[in-house]
Structures are given as structure tokens and as C-alpha cells.
Amino acid sequence: MSTETRATALSAVAISWLAAIAAQGSALILSATGQGIGALAGGCGWIGVTTPLHRPVWALVNQPVLNFSSLPGAGGYWLGSFVLPMVVALFLLTLRPKKPTAVGQLALLQTVWWAILVAGVWLPLLDPIDGHLARWLLLHDLTPNLVWFAPATAAVMATFVSFRVLELARRSRSDLGRAARVTTVVVHLVLPVLGWLGVVRIVGGALPWRSVLGLAAPVAAVVVLAWLRYPSPYPRPLQGPSSRAVAALVTAVALAACMIWLAGRPLADGRVSGVLWGEAGSFNNIRAWIEPWSPTDLGHEDD
């Protein structure tokens, strides 16, 4: 049976960073899934997906009519990539397992944190013209500045993540001082953000300044809360990591990396990969910079 562990221990930090990597990939996939579900609700056929790090994710769909994206029924198509991850994040924040484990709790918090960052900040600000929220505002003759509502919402939700991290940290150290609180949220939450930016810089070149600026809002929120607040300790012992749980986390990291590589890796001439599981019709949303791949292409490589 696992013994109680400290959220500030090196093993817990390593688990947290592994969970962050898995959560980054799952957030991209969740955002694309939100758009796909919204497209299905509007009468589209969902045929594929692309999940690049440095461009907006897209659920690739066949549209029922050419002007589908401007119709009232396209609301879920444009807003699903923001709404679904935020709803999932709110739901996960309400979970309070009776027997919390280090892997489970840290994975849950990283999943919430990255759903908030990716769906609430990164993706909405990546493309001011063709981004999902930006395009929805444009189609409804609303000011594009309203897109900054998304990172503002993310900053508010981020404070709850910081609060939960500090609760876990105070479980084993009730006298957690201001410097220790700030250090804890920086190590668990802020450093993985810097890692994300480093990977995006390598993959996509120049960092998108709007998204980077937007990330400052939730990052500042978690640090400021740690500076000001002193939450009560988490009420239940945090069980140490079992080998099975760690193996499951490593598997999740590998699967997320594999899926993002297949569906969003950078290609020549600024293009990115995508995955198709259906046939593209006459009215589809596949952008010129997306190069979708389908398993059926393997039989036609020499044609």
C-alpha cells in the first residue's frame, strides 16, 4: 500500500510535469473534439482532425452547405473548442476523491490547468482572422477585442487551480510561507508553461505574441493568489504514487505525443499534418495549410 507523499517532493514534481505533458496534448484534442461535436450538432459530417501546437486546431468536417459557417447553426462549430474544455475543467475542479493519490490529484489539476490555458488563452489568440472565437465575432459584427474575454475567464478559473495546488502542499507542511507558496505554484504550474513555449518555438518558429501575452493573465493569477492567500490543508492524506499509476501516466504521455505527431506535426512550406477518417466532400473546411493523411493513402502512394 502506498504511503502518504508530499506535493512538494521531487517525485511529486516529476509526476506533475509528466502529467502536464499529457495534459497539453489532451487539451488540444479536447478543443478539436469540442469543435467536432459542435459541427455535428449543426448538421456537418466529422471526417478528421488537425492538432498543431502553433496553429489553431480544427475538427475537419464536411459542411451541409457552402455558407454553413455563417449560419446560426454554426455557433457550436465556432465556440465548441472553447466551451467543451472549459466545462470539463469546471467539472474536474468539483471532484474530491475519498482516497486521493499523488498521480490522480496532480494529473487532475494539470488537466484542468492546461484545458484552461489551451482553450481559454492559447487557441483563441493564435489567429485574429481565422481563429474560432475571432471568426465567430467577425461573423456576428462584434468587436474583435471581445476575444480577450477568453483569457480573462481563464485567469479567474486559474485561481482555483492554484488554490488546489496549495491545499495539497499544505497537507504536509501547515506553515507554508509566502515564498514557499509562490515557489510551489511556479514549479507545478508556471515552469511547464515555459516548457510549452520552448517546444512551440522549436516547432513553429517565432512565438505568437498575442497568445504569449494572454498566458500572462492566468500565470499572474496563480502567482498572485499564492502570494495573498493561505488555504486550509487538503483534508485527506495524499497517497504516494504506485508503479501502476506511474506506468499509466507514462503511457498517457506517449499516446498524447503520438496523436499530436500524427495529427499536427509541422511539414514543409509551413503546412501541418492532419488525420482523415472520412472522405472530404465538396463543402469542407480543410485549410490550405493542412495536409491531411488517411490510412487509405497507403494503398495509393505509387499511383
Break the chain into its structural domains and give their ranges.
10-300
pLDDT at 1: 39
User: Checking DSSP bridges between strand 58-62 and strand 272-276, what pairing results, if any?
Assistant: unpaired
pTM for the model stands at 0.91
List per-residue pLDDT tens for the chain, 303 residues long.
346 677 778 888 999 999 999 999 999 999 999 999 999 999 999 999 999 999 999 999 999 999 999 999 999 999 999 999 999 999 999 887 777 788 888 999 999 999 999 999 999 999 999 999 999 999 999 999 999 999 999 999 999 999 988 988 887 666 778 898 899 999 999 999 999 999 999 998 889 999 999 999 999 999 999 998 777 777 676 777 778 888 999 999 999 999 899 999 999 988 999 999 999 999 999 999 999 988 666 545 444
Place of cell 449560419: 71
Residue 271 is which amino acid? Answer: R
pLDDT at 302: 47
User: By the 8 A CB rule, do 151 and 217 touch?
Assistant: yes
pLDDT at 239: 78
pLDDT at 61: 97
Contacts of 87 (CB under 8 A, 6+ apart): none
Show the DSSP H helices in the chain as ranges: 10-41, 75-93, 102-117, 123-126, 132-139, 149-172, 178-185, 191-204, 209-228, 243-264
